[in-house]
Amino acid sequence: MSKGVTITASPGADTYRAGGTLVSGVNTTDVGNVTTGEDNLMTFSLLANTLSVDGDRIEIEAAFSLGATANAKTVKFHFGATAAYTTGTLAINNGVMVIRATVIRTGAATQDILVTASSNNALLTTALLAAYTTAAETLSGAVTVKFTGEGTDTDDIIQKIMTVKFYPVNS
């Protein structure tokens, strides 16, 4: 089964498949944490067999506003059962954060994950700006992609945006 539209870069050049935002892969409805404990913010169900060929990838982008309090705040990115990134517990007082993740299929049940984060708050140190990990999610079934937040007060962390884009391997 062919996914995407095949495009020729220029006469005589290689071809590539166009990727793009998945249907229902955009969420702009604010979701905040609720008092203490880890809360699901935005989630996306990656349908079974979306990543069906080694090299297929999804790119996830998320934006968060961080409350103007000295409360401890933690944001995490999960791909299925794998907690691929965490800010750790930080007393970020006001600001915004953007997290970008790339999940690449390396096998029917293996993935490479690269996550980068940026913020206008200096507490998000260089050590927390990037993470690489692997996952072992079975891609023949649906996989939950989600962000979680943990604060002290309700809305210490508000997820503002999540997009999920799919890029099939060039074949």
Architecture per CATH, domain 6-10+21-167, reads as Sandwich (2.60)
Residue 21's pLDDT band, with cuts at 50, 70 and 90, is confident
What average pLDDT score do residues 146-158 get?
Answer: 97
Asked if 28 contacts 34 with a C-beta cutoff of 8 angstroms, the reply is: no
The model's pLDDT over 62-99, given as tens digits with 9 standing for 90+, comes to 999 999 998 999 999 999 999 999 998 888 888 899 99
Asked if 64 contacts 159 with a C-beta cutoff of 8 angstroms, the reply is: yes
Residue 23 neighbours by CB distance under 10 Å: 9
Res 122 pLDDT > 80: no
Q: Which two tokens stand for residue 52?
A: 């069906």
Q: Give the whole-angstrom CA distance, residue 156 versus residue 135.
A: 29
pTM (predicted TM-score)? 0.88
Q: Give the whole-angstrom CA distance, residue 141 versus residue 139.
A: 5
Q: Where are the domains of the chain?
A: 6-10+21-167
